[in-house]
Amino acid sequence: MREEPAAVNSSQSLKQALSQISERGNLLLETMDKVVLGQREMLTECVIALLAHGHILLEGPPGVGKTFTLKTIAQVSGLEMKRIQCTPELMPSDIIGGAQLTQGLNGPELIFREGPIFTQIFFADEINRATPEDTICAPRSDGRGAGEYRRETPTSTETIYRGRHSKPT
């Protein structure tokens, strides 16, 4: 019996994968549509961005459910979400975290404490109120190389974070 060429097999597996993604996206939309009423277009765009590992900028007047929508997306999809309120007093370390001096077994040591950016869904509310230094923190940590933070010890350098809004493994 003759085997199918590899291109046909990969084409079929691609179609199957796209079909599964479409089914999951539609299931997410149907579930969220029951909770967030009258926002189907926004929900569709949010699901597309979520599946594409992209970013979303939600704009609108107060009270239209932007925060509620993101909380619903996180809950329905089983993802962790963290939110910060942007203010002029916000510091970049409030977003990315930083080194903290602690007393270890062998004396003082620096430990990296993760900021809220280390989550699967990161929500920066009222970003127009943040300073330019703060607004640059989120795009730089999206896994395009500039968002790689390292913890240096005398013996080694460990990568703390690299990737798109996911916790380090």
104-149 pLDDT per residue, tens: 888 898 888 999 988 888 888 888 888 877 676 655 555 443 333 3
Q: What one-character DSSP code corresponds to residue 2?
A: P
Structure tokens at 147: 């968002």
**At 57, phi and psi to the nearest 5?**
-115, 110
Q: Which pTM value belongs to this model?
A: 0.65
Sketch the domain layout of the chain as residue ranges. 1-79, 80-169
CA distance linking residue 30 with residue 44, whole number of Å: 10
Has residue 74 got a pLDDT over 50? yes
Rg for the chain, CA atoms, rounded: 20
CA distance linking residue 154 with residue 109, whole number of Å: 11
CA distance linking residue 44 with residue 62, whole number of Å: 21
Count CA atoms within 13 Å of residue 105 on its CB side: 0
